[in-house]
Amino acid sequence: MACVLVVDDDAGFRTTVSRMLSRLGHEVWLADGGEAALSLLRTRPADVVLMDIFMPGTDGVEATQRLVRLRPRTPVVATSGGGVVTSEVALRLAGRVGAFSTLPKPFTLGELRDALARVLPPPSRTNGVTSQDGNP
Amino acid sequence: MRPSGAVDENTERTRTVRVVIADDSALLRRRVRRELEDDPTIAVVGEAADAPSAVALVERLRPDTLLLDLRMPGGGFSVLEAAKRLEPAPAVVVLTNYGFDEYRDRAATLGADEFLDKSRQIGEIAGAVRRAGGVAAEVARAGAGGAELQALLDGLEDAVVLLDDDDRIVAVNTAWGAASVRNDLGGAYGEATVARFEDGRAQVAAIIAALREVREGRRPSFTLTFSLMREGQSVWLRVSGRRMDGDPRRRILVTHANVTEVEALAQALRESEQRFRRLADNAQDIVYRYRLAPTRGFEYVSPASTAMTGFTPEDHYADPDLGWKLVHPDDRHLVEEAAGASGQGPVTLRWIRKDGTEIWTEQRNTVIRDEHGTPVAVEGIARDVTARMTRQQATEASEQQLRALFDLAPDAYVLLTPAGAILRLNHAAEHLFGYPERAVAGRLVRELDVLPGVEIERARHLETRVDSASTAESAEFDIRRADGSAARVEARVNRVVLDGQETLLVMARDVTERRRTEAQVLRLSTALEAAVNAVVIARPDGAIEWVNSAFTRLTGYALDEVRGHNPRLLKSGVHGPAFYEDLWGSIGRGEPWTGRLVNRRKDGSLYTEEMTITPVRGADGRISHFIAIKEDVTAREAAAAAVRASEARLRAAFEHTAVGIIHAGPDGRLLRVNPRLGEMLGYAPEALVGRDFREITHPEDLAANLASYESVLTGERDEYHLEKRYLHRHGHAVWAHVTTAAVRDDAGQVEYFISVAEDITQRRALEQQLYQVQKIEAVGRLAGGVAHDFNNLLTIIRGETELALADAAAGGAVTESLLSIARAADRATTLTGRLLAFSRKQVIEPSTIPIRTFLEDTQRMLHRLVEERIAVRLEVAGDVGVVSADRDQLEQVLLNLVVNARDAITGEGTITVGARDVELTEEFAATHPGARAGRYVMITVTDTGCGMSEEVRAHAFEPFYTTKPRGKGTGLGLATCFGIVKQSGGYIWIDTDVGVGTEVRVYLPAVEAVADPPERETIVPAGPEGEVVLLVEDEDAVRRLARRVLEAGGYGVFEAADGHAALRVLEEHPVTIHLLLTDVVMPGLGGRETAARALERCPDLRVLFMSGYLDDELLRGLVEGDAAALLRKPFSREQLLHAVRDALDTAPVRG
């Protein structure tokens, strides 16, 4: 179980992703923009941050940069459906400023799980072995 | 004057005054009779027209009163005498015409009682009759005294007194005076009268004397008229006395009548008569009256006759024929003629005086006629005009001489009336004009066509000048002779009086030949002197006789300096002796020489001239002169060279320039084109010449081209610039930027056009490409933004679907997931709409839009458009109103404005979007073209950017006008905004300041806010039993969904996957199907075609189209063709059911 902070300006999106993460067994925090996410993270660390790139105000790229300085050990998964630039460009940009991983929108439950799995430390060694065992 | 009351009855019976009228004028008799008939106391008992019958009548009828005209035929005096001889004698009232004293006096002596002027006093005749005859008659008839008599007497105006034989007063009437009656009765008449007359003793004595004569029987009656002063006024009294015949007491009745008025008139008449008499007596002319009837004779001849004729007036009175005898026997016919003509005009004739000498007299006669028109007299004046007649005769003699002079004068003389009628022509005039006098006398000059129209005016002018100037001015005229030939005459007009008539004397002299010669000489010398070329006239030995001023200008030598010199003084030394030998050789042989030579001016400079020397031969055949004509060709040489060079340059430019050049006539035909134009249009240049520019202009650009062309033709402007398409020989369009300028003649008419056509096909193609690129880019940019949202939505849909599937598999609730999915789908629909709106293919669906909500909703999108460096602020008034507009379009306007604002800001800045309600005044509307007064919602987009120059602002709304770098702007943004705002009934305005920023204000008409229509979800209409829908849709999923919704709504549904299938279904169930719900775009038979065919089969069928994509064609079809409704895809359950219900409830499409 991990604590996942979802940062997105789209309320509908936040709701659904929140439901998806719950289904995956995670604890979910929500923030509607970069500043909200940063202030939240100042008080308590999250295990992983799912960060939208194109947001009004402090956008995902800036938020990631500052977040990396604030909580260098908290992995950021950048997510985008594109905007002024395509999602690939946006996500590459996010990667350069410190995002651990990227997840292009739209994504499925499985893709979300895999993206988080790539950045979260395995819950335990056995779990990881089990996991490895479970994947032929 | 009429007696009153009781007396009247007696008057009728006994006291009527019986009157006889004796006058030769029936008219007068009638008039008098009418006058008297008005008076019941008077009866006219007889009339007589001449003296004998009057006497007979009076003796027979014994009237009380006789009205007598003294001048009646047979003599009035005889009647008067006869009447007064009767016993008793009637009163006699004399009717006079002239009131001559002689008549009057004589008549009075004979016993006339009253005098009346016929012409003036006829109205008083009744009174006169009564006055004269009334009392006497009554007294005579009534016998002595008695009440009747007294009553009668009292009724009289005149004072009446009855005297006994001792002149004592026996009786008086009331007119005598009531106060004095008591005293006077029984008193002596003389004393009483003296008292009455206030010291009229002399008069009274005369009366007493007259009374005595009557009493003694020396006369039957008397009448005395005299004047007295009474109360300061002159009063005329007439006192008559009459013995009462048969009265044993020998009483006498005396009447005192106040005749002041009558006498005053008579006095005035006498004075007037005397004045006339004095005038006539003293006149130089003879004044006369000659009686024609009953006997001829002079009634009056003024004393002037004695001096004029030697005969005295008395001679005339004595000899009635003297007047006739006076007239010269040769002139007597004139008298007869004048009498025959009965004219009043003067007759001029000779009289033979008593001493036998002749005089000329001028007589004016007036015939006096009686009321029957019968001449009774001639009145006239005769004047001695001998002196005048003598002068006239002398004049006539001299006129004879003048006439001879006139006829034989060498110059042409024409006499005209002032109106221009020809009176006379002399021989010279006949010759000059070619008209014989007899042919033209009496005709108007202008009828003869002698003077052409233009000359007539001048002639009039000359004629009017005659009026003002005493000396005649001469002028020359071109005339046309009778034979049609032309001549020039010098004419002079004089105003003369001939035979007392004003006459125009035209003196003309033929100056044709003289003028011709003069003109020629003048022309020649003027021409020579004014010639541009230098002219030299030299003698055969070469000595110069004359040079013109051009020579002086050319060489610097004046005429005086060269006269007599040899032209060699101009020699420059450039030409050798052989040159001059050739020259002299030629002209010496009499041949003209032409050549170019260099000469030296007076100032030493050299010049080139072209000279022609022509030898002139005299009458003897020998050369008398040489004439040299020199032309300075120095400048021409230089100019020609310059022109050649310029021409070559221009030709090269024309031939080789990179732009097409056209010369065209004002009719639009090409006169000349350069090779480049030919190349542009695929023709040889020659093949284009003669064509009309319209032929090679693209039809779509022709209208604009013609408008510009016309504006130049009409002179509105001199040139125009145009981007137009020519037609290439192969049919494709060639874009060109054309500048056309007109070359005009002096009158301002276009002589020809010069067009320069720059081929811009390439540029246009690039622009077109660029436009496409920009459009794609713009779509892409927005798509990027939309994709962002879409991916969120897809994430929601997918995620929730997965969750729901999993929950469903586990038997859990899926509602929350499905709701999220539905919301996401709704949002996606809106996004799609926005994309479509941007690609400008959309259905305009005006709705009421609350601007505040609208701007808040749009804000997010705006943020997405601008970078972080730019702050976007929203300043919306709380109470801002509602507009009616298409929401997508309004969004587009806002987007465009914000994008422009963003692009105007380099670095950091702020864009403020504001909104508030405003009222546009009439004043504002008047100063802002396109704006109208009213209530508006104003949306402003304000930036802190670079602002626009006035130039940019002026073009800002033009399509394709852009200031953005290449590839950055389409130039359509503001144009689109403009179009949309105009379409919404609004107005758009730019306020800008370079370096400060720009504010674009969009005014949209404010509308009343209406409550949102009730949520339709709550009242979804259901189809009544039996309503059947034929659903045609090629997409299975959509078709299935729609079927489920329709069936759930209570409709029966037939399905078809395409148009043909649908028609087959109709075939099988023609009656049961009520609505055709069809997709528009389908493979095979399209929706519209399907609908059309279905309607042919079932005219009552309602049609509802559905489509997810609306192109222009479809919209057009909807408007032009059937009025079927349209349902936009995607649609909700509610939207579908509403649309179906609406379609079914509308009237059938046809019929």
pLDDT band, residue B1111 (cuts 50/70/90):
low
Average pLDDT, chain A: 82
Given a contact cutoff of 8 angstroms between Cβ atoms, the answer to whether B534 and B549 are in contact is no
Dihedral of alpha carbons B833, B836, B840, B842, sign: negative
Question: By C-alpha distance, which of B26, B17, B125 is closest to B67?
Answer: B125
Say how far residue B638 (Cα) sits from the centre of its chain: 61
Q: Are B105 and B112 in contact (CB under 8 A)?
A: no
The proportion of chain A whose per-residue pLDDT surpasses 90, expressed as a percent, equals 35
Residues of chain A contacting residue B820, judged by C-beta atoms under 8 Å apart = 12, 15-16
pLDDT bucket at A125, cuts 50 / 70 / 90? very low
Contacts of B823 in chain A (CB under 8 A): 12
Q: Which of residues 11-50 of A touch B (CB under 8 A)?
A: 12-13, 15-17, 19-20, 23
Distance CA B547, CA B532 (A): 12
**pLDDT score recorded for residue B140:** 47
B783 vs A contacts (CB less than 8 Å)? none
Q: Which residues pair with B753 in a beta bridge?
A: B664, B742
Contact check, Cβ <8 Å, A82/B820: no
DSSP B643: H
How does pLDDT run across A28-41, given as a tens digit for each residue?
999 998 999 999 99
A86 neighbourhood in chain B, CB within 8 Å = 784
Q: How far apart are CA B503 and CA B284, in angstroms?
A: 34
Contacts of B146 (CB under 8 A, 6+ apart): none
CB contact under 8 A, A12 and B823: yes
Q: Please report residues of B whose CB lies closer than 8 A to that of A25.
A: none
Q: Is the CB of residue B327 less than 8 Å from the CB of residue B342? A: no
Omega prior to B294 cis, within 30 of 0: yes
Residue B996 to chain A, least CA–CA distance (Å):
26
Nearest-Cα residue of chain A relative to residue B817: A16
Range B291-307 burial, b when 16+ CB lie within 10 A, else e:
beeeeebbebbbebbbe
Q: Do A20 and B788 touch (CB under 8 A)?
A: no
pLDDT at B1018 over 70: no
Contacting residues for B860 by C-beta, under 8 A, at least 6 apart: A56
Find tokens 């030409």 and name the residue.
Answer: B575
Q: Choose between B664 and A123: higher pLDDT.
A: B664
Confidence of residue B504 (pLDDT cuts 50, 70, 90): confident
Q: Give the three-class secondary structure for B399.
A: helix
SS3 category, B830: helix
Tell me the per-residue pLDDT of B265-316, one tens digit each, with 9 for 90 and over: 777 777 777 777 777 777 778 888 888 877 888 888 888 888 888 888 888 8
Write out the residues of chain B at the interface with chain A, using a CB-CB cutoff of 8 A: 781, 784-785, 787-800, 802-803, 806, 816-817, 820, 823-824, 827, 860, 863-864, 868
* Residue numbers in A near B785 (CB within 8 A): 83-84
Q: What are the beta bridge partners of residue B431?
A: none
Residue B287: helix, strand or coil by DSSP? strand
* Yes or no, beta carbons of A106 and B802 under 8 Å apart: no
- The residue of chain B with its CA nearest to that of A109 is B799
Selected residue with higher pLDDT from B864 and B1063? B1063
The string of pLDDT tens digits covering residues B819-848 is 888 888 888 877 776 666 555 444 456 788
Q: Give residue B1026's pLDDT.
A: 67
Which of residues B151 and B366 earns the better pLDDT score? B366
Chain A residues within 8 A of B824 when measuring between CB atoms: 12
Residue of A nearest to B861 (CA): A56
Tokens of B889: 């379009």
Task: Give mean pLDDT, residues B745-764.
Answer: 85
Which neighbouring-strand residues pair with B673? B662
Q: Does the pLDDT value for residue B139 go beyond 50?
A: no
Whether B299 contacts B313, CB under 8 Å: no
Residue B950 identity (one-letter amino acid): E
Q: Which of A7, A10, A113 to mutate to test the interface with B (most CBs of B within 10 A)?
A: A10
Contact B544, B599 (CB under 8 A): no
Distance (Å) from the alpha carbon of A109 to chain B's nearest alpha carbon = 6
Chain B environment of A21 (Cβ under 8 Å): none
Would the pTM of this model clear 0.80, i.e. be above it? no
Identify the pLDDT of residue B383.
84
C-alpha distances in Å from residue A75, one per residue of A97, A101, B26, B738 = 12, 8, 161, 67
**Which residues from B are below 8 Å from A61, CB to CB?**
none
Residue of B777, B786, B789, B792 for testing the chain A interface, max A β-carbons within 10 Å: B792
Whether A106 and B794 lie within 8 Å, measured CB to CB: yes
Residue B934 amino acid letter: G
For residues B861 and B887, the answer to whether their CB atoms sit within 8 Å is no
State the smallest CA–CA distance between residue A82 and chain B in angstroms.
5
Provide DSSP, B455-506: HHHHHHHHHHHHHH-SSPPEEEEEEE-TTS-EEEEEEEEEEEEETTEEEEEE
Residue in B792, B827, B863 nearest the CB of A81:
B792
Task: Put the strands of the sheet holding A3-7 in their side by side order.
Answer: A27-31, A3-7, A48-52, A76-80, A101-104
Which of B787, B820, B863 lies at the smallest CB-CB distance from A12?
B820
Q: Are B932 and B939 in contact (CB under 8 A)?
A: no
- Which candidate, B839, B836, B869, B875, places its Cα nearest to that of B855? B875
Show which of residues 80-109 on chain A sit within 8 Å of chain B, judged by CB atoms.
Answer: 80-87, 104-109
Name the H helices within B928-1081. 950-955, 973-983, 1036-1048, 1059-1068
Q: Is B1059 strand, coil or helix? A: helix
The closest of B346, B345, B373 to B362, measured between CA atoms, is: B346
Which chain B residues touch A20 with a CB distance below 8 Å? 799, 802-803
State the nearest Cα–Cα gap between B794 and chain A, in angstroms: 6
Are B796 and A107 a contacting pair at CB < 8 A? no
| CB-based contact B791 A59, cutoff 8 Å | no
Could you tell me the two tokens for B982? 């105009």
pLDDT band at B1099; cut points 50, 70, 90:
confident
- The reported pLDDT for the residue numbered B710 is 86
Residue of B789, B796, B860 lying closest to A16 (CB–CB)? B796
pLDDT of the residue at B445: 79
The 3-state DSSP class for residue B525 equals helix
Report the distance separating Cα B587 and Cα B1113, nearest Å.
93
CB pairs under 8 A between A and B: 87
Is there a contact between A15 and B868 if contact means CB atoms under 8 Å apart?
Answer: no
Helix or strand holding residue B762 (H, E) = helix B761-809
Element (H, E) at B437: helix B437-440
Token representation of residue B1054: 């037939």
Q: Which residue of A has its CA nearest to B869?
A: A57
B847: Cβ contacts below 8 Å, ≥ 6 apart: B884, B885, B886, B887
Residue of B nearest to A21 (CA): B799
pLDDT at res. B780:
59
B870 close to B905: Cβ distance less than 8 angstroms:
yes
Choose among B656, B695, B694: nearest CA to B677: B656
Judged by DSSP in three states, A16 sits in helix
Nearest Cα of chain B lies from the Cα of A83 at a distance, in angstroms, of 5
- Nearest-Cα residue of chain B relative to residue A80: B788
Q: Give the separation between CA B453 and CA B566, rounded to whole angstroms.
A: 54
**pLDDT tens figures, B758-797:** 888 777 776 666 655 555 555 555 666 667 778 888 888 8
Asked if the model's pLDDT at residue B490 lies above 60, the reply is: yes
Identify all chain B residues contacting A112, using CB atoms and an 8 Å cutoff: 799
Q: Are B473 and B492 in contact (CB under 8 A)?
A: yes
Position B1097 scores a pLDDT of 82
**Cβ–Cβ gap B784/A19 under 8 Å:** no
Contacts of A59 in chain B (CB under 8 A): 868
Residue B309 CA from chain centroid, whole number: 70
Verify whether the Cβ–Cβ distance B792 to A105 is below 8 Å: yes
From chain B, pick out residues whose CB is under 8 angstroms from the CB of A105. 791-792, 794-795
